[in-house]
Amino acid sequence: MERPIFKPIGTAEEALDTPSLVVDISGLNQNIETMHSFFRSRPVGLRPHVSGHGSSAIAHMQIAAGGTVGGIMTATLGQAEVFAATGFDDIFLANLVTAPSKISRLCSLARRVNMTVAADSADNVSDLGEASVEAGVTLNVVVDINTRRDSTGVAPGRPALELANAIEGEEGLHFAGLMTYEGTIRADGDELVSESKKCIQQVLDTREKVEKAGLDVEILSVGGTHNYEIAGDMDGVTEVAAGSYALMDEAYRPYRPQFVNAARIMSCVTSMPQAGNVITDAGRKAIGGDSGNPGIPTVPGGEVRGLSAEHGGIDLDPSIDHGLSLGDRVWFVPNSIEGCVNLHDYMHVIRNGKLDAVWELPARGRYR
Amino acid sequence: MDYYRPVPGTQVEDLETPCLLVDLDAVEHNFRVVADTYRDTECKMRQHTKNIKSPRLAKMQIEAGGTVGGVCTAKLSEAEVMVEGGVTDILIPNQVVHKDKIARMCALARCADMKVSVDNMQNVQDLSDIADAYGVKIGVLIEVDTQMGRAGVRSNEQGVAIAKLAESLPGVDFKGVMSHQSLMEYKGEKDRYEVGRQTIQICLDVKNAIEAEGIAVEMVSSGETFTIDVAATIPGVTEVEGGTYALGGTNYDYMEDYQMANKVMGTVISTPRSGVAIGDAGLFALSGLGADSVEGHLDITVVEMLDHQIVLKSDGEMPLKVGDKFMLIPAYQDMMINRWDQYIGIRDGAVEQVWDIPGRGCTQ
């Protein structure tokens, strides 16, 4: 577990230990307002995805900001358990639960909170149905439709309808609707629109089929931070699950200029071995590196040469006076915010340049 | 943080997934290989704890033999974990710069033999000032850049200047030199030996230049798992900082004497299309994988990793069914274990030990 040197509330950000995950509260509030204001005025609801921050404090802020469906989305059962214990009573687990011990955990959760889970096979639906009856609970089950990502999911149309019927046919289950995870579409303009609509339309067409067969589609979950304004304006979509917008990251930055980078990893310059070369104490284990390099917008003329596990290497333009010395702070914008928060136990919340709160991230590492 | 500590005796197939398994026979074997390799050599192993993040595993190697009796830790917080776990000979082959961190290191120096790497005169001065005020001594080794273009002195002259300064100051003890190499692309043994010797020689050149000034050089700490065999054959190298050898990774399949000890076990959660299986161990748990990472299944390829799912494709019919378990061999071993809170130690197909990973997240 991380063990930063303790600093009291009110400490200047630069005096905090490094590397640390620092979150600017005004940027976070701004992003929440930008996203939620889109949804407040519309019948479609936002469902905040907790993977984008891992924090109960932020998830509560998101629900309080309005424009939501009143619940959250998680990627794993373990995350759902953590958030169920911290005041969230509507949780959509956008993943499959197939192992018997996990189904048992899911049913226990369903005793205390309104649980929705995804399914993509009749066998799984049958197992869920049996377990929920035995546990005396009702599980809401959404059909997971594959439209682009080619991971889990049934094909749209008839296969989805068949599964919907199977769910409705189980006494302990309630057919709650349809979803797709189209994956993060990193594109803009026409390409983003056409790629998004191509995926979402398949789910909408499936909706029509399912409704014609006499089933209600309460939930139609599509989209994310990458295309919420497109998904949110398509008739028949009931919710958009977005996570990254709250804190944002480097990969999203060029595509979603309406959001600011509220989360960064603060790092220390630990070596300046040659002119134009700066080494910092934040590498892949603090910033993340599975998906690409971070950004360093506060270092003019600086470029991330690469990250090792525990070091960041920065190339500096020799013609610019960057004014960096040993011991100075450098802030990295992580390439993937989800990947980054998965590495941390604490979030240091900064208000006007000072430590305002330390939020724990107990859902970290809950892959199970 | 997870709290998955299954009772000893639990069969592997009954474990919840994903979970991080350690094959105890394999890790004990690896520790014995090091003990045998370094029994009669002048050069000894100083195991790098970034690859284990557990004092229990560090002690197992020390008890097996072949070591200097201490470890390397990547960062100060990782050193704290080791000291609290009873391992008190520490080298941080990295720079500790900020005054708060130096103070923290001095606190550790009251109950441990702390050594750190330096490449900057002001840093040495700061270490001296603070350590002297605390009434402790911090050992300093000069980091030499031999290949990576990262931290470290770039010339013999720089090294000599820092050694002279360290010798003249209270609070710091000049110990020697240190270097780290990244030779992953040199897979062939001949290449590794050649390039390994060339790069480590750069470190030895600084040592020689310092000795020529009449300053004794006690420690030459170099190498890593890439040169775990090479470094021990180079006269003058006193310790090797091997890490990945303990638990293993697919990038190191040239290491035939050693066995793969750490694996992430996953379960198939869906077979949505012909020839495809989806598992529950994703990118966040693994930190990336090579295509051939499913143990015992050369017929299965890792096509893609999502955050919490893995997409597997088979050459013909998918042999894995929903509910089947599979083992993934990590590629970036120390990156992978830094995602986990517990090791589940397995022997003869059942849980024998469950160890916490207290060094997880200790990048401070």
Per-residue model confidence as pLDDT tens digits over B300-337: 999 999 999 999 999 899 999 999 999 999 999 999 99
Q: Is A286 on the interface with B (CB under 8 A)?
A: yes
Cβ contact B270–A75 (<8 Å): no
Tell me which residue range forms the domain holding B236.
24-249
- Tell me the backbone φ, ψ of residue A91, rounded to 5 degrees: -130, 130
Which tens digit of pLDDT belongs to each residue from B238-286?
Answer: 999 999 999 998 766 667 889 999 999 999 999 999 999 999 999 999 9
The answer to whether residue B363 is domain-embedded is: no
- Give domain status of residue B2, yes or no: no
Q: Residue A289 — pLDDT band, cuts 50, 70, 90?
A: confident
**Residue contact A311–B151, C-beta within 8 A:** yes
A337 touches B: beta carbon within 8 Å: no
Which CATH number applies to A70-237? 3.20.20.10
CATH number at residue B30: 3.20.20.10
In a domain, B82, yes or no: yes
E strand spans, chain B: 19-23, 44-48, 67-72, 89-92, 113-118, 138-143, 172-178, 219-222, 239-240, 262-270, 276-279, 300-305, 310-314, 325-328, 342-347, 350-356
Q: Give contacts of A367 with chain B, Cβ < 8 Å.
A: 2, 18, 280-282, 284-285, 308, 339
Question: Both B50 and B179 in a single domain?
Answer: yes
Whether B236 and B302 share a structural domain: no
Paired sense of beta strands B262-270 and B325-328, if any: antiparallel
Q: A268 vs B283: CB contact, 8 Å cut-off?
A: no
Q: Assess whether B285 and B269 both reside in one domain.
A: yes
pLDDT in tens, A184-238: 888 889 999 999 999 999 999 999 999 999 999 999 999 999 999 999 999 999 9
What pLDDT is recorded for position B190? 79
Residue A158: other Cβ atoms inside 10 A? 11
User: Quick check: is B60 in a domain?
Assistant: yes
Same domain, B141 and B228: yes
Instruction: pLDDT band for B225, please (50, 70, 90 cuts).
Output: confident
How many domains would you assign to chain B? Answer: 2
Q: What is the pLDDT of residue B291?
A: 79
Question: For A240-257, what is each residue's pLDDT tens digit?
Answer: 999 999 999 999 999 999
In this structure, the number of other CB atoms found within 10 A of the CB of residue A48 comes to 29
* DSSP letter (8 states) at residue B7: P
Q: Which of A152, A285, A326 sits opposite B309 (nearest CB)?
A: A152
CB < 8 Å to A120, chain B: 270, 272
| Domain-wise residue ranges, chain A | 13-22+257-360, 70-237
Which pLDDT tens digit goes with each residue over B70-128? 999 999 999 999 999 999 999 999 999 999 999 999 999 999 999 999 999 999 999 99
Is the CB of B254 inside 8 Å of chain A's CB atoms? no
Mean pLDDT of B172-197: 85
Min Cα distance A123 → chain B (Å) is 9
DSSP lists the bridge partners of residue A253 as none
Interface confidence, given as ipTM, is 0.97
Q: Is A353 on the interface with B (CB under 8 A)?
A: no
**For residue A73, which residues of chain B lie inside 8 Å, CB to CB?**
none
State the burial class of residue B135 (Cβ atoms within 10 Å of its Cβ: 0-12, 13-18, 19+). Answer: exposed
> Are B364 and A273 in contact (CB < 8 Å)?
no
pLDDT of residue B232: 80
Length of chain B equals 364
Whether residues B212 and B320 fall in one domain: no
Cross-chain CB nearest to A338 (options B100, B269, B307): B307
Same domain? For B32 and B16 the reply is no
CB contact under 8 A, B322 and A343: no
Q: What is the pLDDT of residues A102-127, one digit of tens each?
A: 999 999 999 999 999 999 999 999 99
For B158, nearest residue in chain A (alpha carbons): A273
Confidence band of A6 (pLDDT split at 50, 70, 90): very high
What average pLDDT does the structure give for chain A?
97
Scanning chain B, the segments in alpha helix (DSSP H) are 24-37, 55-64, 76-84, 99-109, 121-134, 156-168, 189-212, 283-286, 333-337
* Residue after which a domain boundary falls, among B206, B232, B249: B249
CATH architecture entry for A13-22+257-360:
Beta Barrel (2.40)
A343 near B CB under 8 A: yes
Domain boundary at B249, B277, B297, which? B249
Same domain for B261 and B131: no
The rounded radius of gyration (Å) of the Cα atoms in chain A is 22
Q: Are both B151 and B245 inside the same structural domain?
A: yes
**Amino acid code (one letter) for A151:** S
Boundary of a domain, candidates B203, B227, B249: B249
Q: Which amino acid is at A201?
A: Q
What is the pLDDT, as a whole number, of residue B186? 67
Task: Note whether B113 and B129 are same-domain residues.
Answer: yes
Residues of B in contact with A99 (CB under 8 A): 16-17, 267, 269, 323
Q: Contact A272/A280 with Cβ under 8 angstroms?
A: no
Long-range residue pairs from B181-190, CB within 8 A, at least 24 positions apart, any chain:
B181/B146, B181/B147, B181/B148, B181/B222, B181/B223, B181/B224, B181/B226, B181/B227, B182/A308, B182/B147, B182/B148, B182/B224, B182/B226, B183/B147, B183/B226, B183/B227, B184/B226, B184/B251, B186/B226, B187/B254, B188/B254, B189/B254
Shared-domain flag, residues B41 and B70: yes
Say yes or no for a CB contact (<8 Å) between A121 and B152. no
* pLDDT 10s digits, A12-40: 999 999 999 999 999 999 999 999 999 99
For residue B66, give how far its alpha carbon lies from the nearest alpha carbon of chain A (Å): 27
Cα separation of B20 and B152, whole Å? 35
Q: Is A268 within 8 Å of B97 when comparing Cβ atoms?
A: yes
Mean pLDDT, all residues of chain B: 95
Q: Do A98 and B17 touch (CB under 8 A)?
A: no
Is B4 a member of any domain? no
**Domain for residue B196, yes or no?**
yes
Buried b (16+ CB within 10 A) or exposed e, A93-106: bbbbbbbeebbebb
pTM above 0.90, yes or no: yes
A102 and B CB contact within 8 Å:
yes
**A168 burial level (CB within 10 Å; 0-12, 13-18, 19+):** middle
Same domain, B266 and B129: no
Co-location of B55 and B157 in the same domain: yes
* Residue A131 to residue A126: CA distance in whole angstroms: 9
